[in-house]
A and B are shown apart, each in its own frame.
Chain A
Amino acid sequence: DTGVSQDPRHKITKRGQNVTFRCDPISEHNRLYWYRQTLGQGPEFLTYFQNEAQLEKSRLLSDRFSAERPKGSFSTLEIQRTEQGDSAMYLCASSLSDWETQYFGPGTRLLVL
């Protein structure tokens, strides 16, 4: 069984550009989460999906951020008009259902110049 995968692993972009990240959860995991981690801090919750339904979004998720999970399998996180403050590690996690352990992918490290 493969774990959670994320693509790309690293992304460097210029301020104002749009970026999109992809997450492939563990198969049959219904829950998919996105977190953001900055240097010296723990992951912060951004949003999560139950199958294809996006159930909650954090206040951290401004209007420039959008996430989808179109068929309840993989998910994408798009950031429009990137800002330097968006530079962080973006982590994806999946779990079988409520309250089950979340398993994390390797993350996508974003640097906005």
Chain B
Amino acid sequence: AQKVTQAQTEISVVEKEDVTLDCVYETRDTTYYLFWYKQPPSGELVFLIRRNSFDEQNEISGRYSWNFQKSTSSFNFTITASQVVDSAVYFCALSEEDTNAGKSTFGDGTTLTVKP
């Protein structure tokens, strides 16, 4: 069965600090997709990134970067020079191609608070 673990329940940093949110997943499929979503206080889940299991290249988008390592089943998310507007709950999610036909399993989220 697929499973996503976000061990960090809450993280608090001061503005301009770098912060890494951890995500560890479990799957038996060889083809799968990993996602990160942001959920600000307004409640709407905002898509951040999608990676497939065959693409282990790290990705950078502005202040955001993602480190995908199949060897450790991890897909970690780093925010560089954090800002107050980054305060939100961040979810990691997994979709398996063979077993679960595209529906996503989410972790329980990490609440990030960035203080001015």
Q: Which residues of A contact B (CB under 8 A)?
A: 31, 33, 40-45, 48, 55-56, 89, 91, 93, 95, 98-99, 101-107, 109
Additional 5 contacts, C-beta under 8 A, given A33-B103, A45-B103, A45-B105: A42-B4, A45-B104, A99-B95, A102-B47, A105-B44
Q: Closest Cβ of chain A: how far from B109's Cβ, in Å?
A: 5
Interface residues of B in 95-116 (CB under 8 A from A): 95, 97, 101-109
Q: Tell me if A's interface is mostly helix, strand, loop or mixed.
A: strand
Pairs across A and B, CB under 8 Å, 24 listed: A31-B102, A33-B104, A40-B108, A41-B109, A42-B4, A42-B106, A42-B109, A43-B45, A43-B106, A48-B103, A55-B101, A95-B102, A98-B97, A99-B33, A99-B102, A101-B35, A101-B50, A102-B35, A102-B47, A104-B37, A104-B45, A106-B42, A106-B43, A109-B43
Report, nearest first, the 5 A-B pairs whose CB atoms are least far apart: A42-B106, A104-B45, A106-B44, A45-B103, A98-B102
Q: Which residues of B contact A (CB under 8 A)?
A: 4, 33, 35, 37, 42-47, 50, 52, 91, 93, 95, 97, 101-109
The residue on B at minimum CB distance from A97 is B102
The residue on B at minimum CB distance from A89 is B43
Q: Closest Cβ of chain A: how far from B78's Cβ, in Å?
A: 20
The residue on A at minimum CB distance from B49 is A101
The residue on B at minimum CB distance from A43 is B106
Given A42-B93, A55-B101, A56-B101; A103-B47 close (CB under 8 Å): yes
